Chain A
Amino acid sequence: MNNYLLKKEDLPAFLKDLNLQCELWAPYTESGIRFFHPYRKGEQPECGRSTRISVKSFFLPRCEEMFQFSPEPDGMNIQANLPENRLVLFGVRPCDARAMRLNARVFLDDPATPHQDPYFGKRRQTTLLVGWGCDRPGAACFCHAVGGSPFGEEGLDALITDLGDNLLLTVGTPEAEKRIKTDQLRTASEEDMAAAERINQASRETLSANFNPENMKIESIVSGDIETLFDLPVWEETASRCLNCGVCTYLCPTCTCFDVLDTGENQSGYQFRCWDSCMFGLFTQHASGHNPRPGKPERIRQRFMHKLRYFPERNGGHAGCVGCGRCVLFCPVNIDIREIAESMAESKTNR
C-alpha cells in the first residue's frame, strides 16, 4: 500500500488523465439528485456523499442482455453478450465498495456452488474503484454497526482522504498502482497520515454519536432461535405499513436478486435479466399458484432475515448490509432496518 499527496487544485488534471486511459464515471448532481455520470470536463465531481443509486448498477445493471438468439438452418445461434468495457469509478463510498465485496461472495465465491456469474465477474475484473473517504457521514449511516468503517478500504482499489488543501491518495491494489499515474505525486508524510487519521476518527465519532452499534448486534441475531425470530411480532407490525414498493431492494447495494426473461418472436430475440425484489408477490409464486411468501409479513421477514440472519449464517458472520442508509432514507413509510435489527437481537435476551 502506498500513500501519495495530491494537491486539490490538481484533481481536474488527475481525473482528465484517468479518463484518457478508460471510461471514467464520478458522482454529479442533476435535478437535485446525485448519480454517477460519465466524467465531465471542467465540473468538480461531488464526492464524499451518497449517490441515490449505489455502484451496484455497474456490476449488476438494472437490466442487461445476457444472450441474443436467432434461428439458423441446423439449429439456433445463441450468442452470450458479456461486458467488455473497462471502467474507473471515482468517488465511491467505502460502504458501497464493501457491498461489492459481499456481492462477490454470492456471485463468485460461494463454496456451495461450482458456478460463478461471468457477467458480474467480468465487471469486477475490469472495473477500478477509487473511493472517497466518508468525512461527513449522514444521519442514516451505520456502517460502523455492520462491520464497515467510513474510511474502510475493503473492496476499493484506492481511497482518497480529503485533507483540505490536499488529498491523500492511498493506493491499495497492484491494478490501481498500474492504472493510476502517481510518478508526479509526492509521497505522503507522517503529518499527512496523522491528519487523515484525525479525520477518520472524527467521522467514526460522528457515526457512533448518531447510532450506537450496540443496538444492532448481528451475532445475537445469528445465534438466536430461528423459530422465535420467525414468529416475532415485528413482521406483522412492519407489514401493516409497508407498501411493498421495493425501493429498499432497488437502492440496496447488497440486494442482488434478479429475474431472467425472454423477449422476441419467431425464435429470434434476447434473453435478459433485470433487478427483481423479494418485496413482490410474483417473486416466489409458483406456476401452480402456490406461493411460499404470499403476504407482506412473509416478504418483509424474508428481506430482513436474509440480510441479518441467513447471509451472516452462510458468510462467516458478515451481515448482508453495509449500513449505507439508503433504505432508511428513502422508505416512504419510514421502515428502519436498525430498529428491526434491534427487535431481532432483543428476541434472544427476552426469551
Chain B
Amino acid sequence: MLNPYEKYPVTIRSVTNETEDKNLKTFELTFLSSEDAGAFTFLPGQFAMLWVPGFGEIPLGIASSPTETNKLLFSVNKIGKVTRRLHQLDPGAILGVRGPFGNGFPWETLKGKHIAIIGGGYAFTTLRASIVYLLDEANRNDFGDLWVLYGAKTAGMLMYRNEIDAWAARDDLEMHISVDRQDTPAWRHHVGLIPTIVTAHLPPADEDAAVILCGPPVMIKFTLQALHEKGYGADQVYLSLENRMKCGIGFCGRCSVGKDCVCKDGPVFSSAEVNLMPNDF
C-alpha cells in the first residue's frame, strides 16, 4: 500500500515578492530527486500539500502550468502559522510537497470551447497556471477564443505583473485588467469591480463558452449574477472551492460541504453542482 502522506523533498529555488503590501510571495521549488519531479504530473486547477518541516502542511493551488517543464510554483499569502514561517525562508530551504490532489479544471470538457478566465485578488494562482497552459503552443489550437478578466484592489496588488502585461499585448487572447481604485495616474487599464467589467466586456454566452471563476466570496456572488444576466448557464461556470484541509485526500474530514469533500470531489465544481450543495461555506 502506497503512503499518500509521504512527501517529495523539495528546495526553494527562488522567492518573488508579488504585491506592494509584501504579503504575497511566489515560491519556485525544485524537487531534490529527478524521479520525484517526473512522478509529479498535474493539471491546472489541482492543488498540493506544502509541508514546512516542524510547522505543518497546508493546501495550495499549483500556480505553475505542467507545460512549464521543471517549474513548480506556489503563490502564498502570509496569513497563518505555516505561511508566516514560509515567508521567512530563503532559497535553499528544504520543504516537502505531497500531491497533486483534487480534480483540476475539466480540461477534456473544455476542449473546443471559448474560455473566459475571471479572477479576483489572491485567487489568481491556479488561473495563472490555466492561462499559461492554454497559451502553450501544444494546447492553444484545442480551444476557441480566450478572455482573461483580472481584478485587484490597486495596481500594486496585481500578481504576476510582468506576465499579465505580456498577455495583454498578445492578439490571441482578450485581456481586461481592472483595479477597484485608481491610485496611480499612469494606470491605463480599467477601474471598477469585476462584476462590472464582466457586464461591460464579456460577450454574451453561447453554448460553446465556459467560464473559470476564482476569487473572494463577495466577488464570486456578484460575478455569478453578472454571468447569469449574460446568459451563462450554471453548468458553464466552474468554481474552485477552498476549505481548511489536513490530509488533502478525503480522510481527515474537515473540508466537507454536504456529502462532498473539497479535496477529493473538488476543488473544482460547476456552479450547478455548487447550487445543489447545502449552504455550508
B249 at the interface (CB under 8 A from A): yes
Alpha-carbon gap, A33 to B54, bound state (A): 37
Docked complex: A266-282 residues within 8 A CB-CB of B? 266-269, 271, 273, 276, 278
Interface string of B1-38 (1 = CB under 8 A from A): 11111110101000000000000000000001000000
Docked complex: B147-200 residues within 8 A CB-CB of A? none
B272 at the interface (CB under 8 A from A): no
Smallest Cβ distance from B144 to chain A, in angstroms?
31
A59 surroundings in chain B (CB, below 8 A):
none
Alpha-carbon gap, A306 to B247, bound state (A): 18
A2 at the interface (CB under 8 A from B): no
A178 at the interface (CB under 8 A from B): no
User: Chain B interface secondary structure, helix, strand, loop or mixed?
Assistant: loop
A67 at the interface (CB under 8 A from B): yes
On whether the beta carbons of A259 and B252 are closer than 8 Å, the reply is yes
B249 surroundings in chain A (CB, below 8 A):
113, 115
Smallest Cβ distance from B1 to chain A, in angstroms?
4
On whether the beta carbons of A292 and B252 are closer than 8 Å, the reply is no
Smallest Cβ distance from A289 to chain B, in angstroms?
9
Alpha-carbon gap, A80 to B7, bound state (A): 10
On whether the beta carbons of B246 and A259 are closer than 8 Å, the reply is yes
On whether the beta carbons of B9 and A122 are closer than 8 Å, the reply is no
Among the stretches B40-48, B232-240, B256-264, the one at the interface with A is B256-264
Q: Given A260-B56, A267-B94, A287-B83, do A276 and B5 touch, yes or no (CB 8 Å)?
A: no
B281 surroundings in chain A (CB, below 8 A):
292
B222 at the interface (CB under 8 A from A): no
B7 surroundings in chain A (CB, below 8 A):
78
Alpha-carbon gap, A259 to B255, bound state (A): 12
On whether the beta carbons of B280 and A82 are closer than 8 Å, the reply is no
B55 at the interface (CB under 8 A from A): yes
A147 at the interface (CB under 8 A from B): no
Interface string of A55-80 (1 = CB under 8 A from B): 00000000000110101001110101
On whether the beta carbons of B265 and A115 are closer than 8 Å, the reply is no
B81 surroundings in chain A (CB, below 8 A):
287
Interface string of A284-315 (1 = CB under 8 A from B): 11111000110000100010011001100110
On whether the beta carbons of A75 and B79 are closer than 8 Å, the reply is no
On whether the beta carbons of A276 and B254 are closer than 8 Å, the reply is yes
8 Å CB contact of B1 from A116, A305, A313: A116
A112 at the interface (CB under 8 A from B): yes
B244 at the interface (CB under 8 A from A): yes
On whether the beta carbons of B94 and A314 are closer than 8 Å, the reply is no
On whether the beta carbons of B57 and A260 are closer than 8 Å, the reply is yes
B88 surroundings in chain A (CB, below 8 A):
none
Alpha-carbon gap, A256 to B261, bound state (A): 14
On whether the beta carbons of B254 and A283 are closer than 8 Å, the reply is yes
B53 at the interface (CB under 8 A from A): yes
On whether the beta carbons of A118 and B79 are closer than 8 Å, the reply is no
A265 at the interface (CB under 8 A from B): yes
Alpha-carbon gap, A238 to B268, bound state (A): 34
B11 surroundings in chain A (CB, below 8 A):
75
B276 surroundings in chain A (CB, below 8 A):
226
B253 at the interface (CB under 8 A from A): yes
On whether the beta carbons of B251 and A106 are closer than 8 Å, the reply is yes
Smallest Cβ distance from B51 to chain A, in angstroms?
8
Most buried by A among B5, B57, B279: B5
16 additional A-B residue pairs with CB within 8 Å, beyond A262-B56, A305-B258, A314-B259: A66-B5, A76-B9, A78-B9, A110-B264, A118-B1, A118-B5, A121-B1, A258-B247, A260-B57, A261-B56, A262-B54, A264-B53, A264-B54, A267-B54, A271-B5, A287-B80
8 intermolecular pairs with C-beta atoms under 8 Å apart:
A71-B94, A75-B32, A76-B9, A78-B9, A226-B276, A257-B253, A262-B54, A267-B94
Chain A to chain B: the 10 pairs with minimum beta-carbon distance, closest first: A287-B80, A257-B253, A310-B259, A115-B4, A115-B249, A260-B246, A113-B264, A118-B1, A113-B250, A287-B79
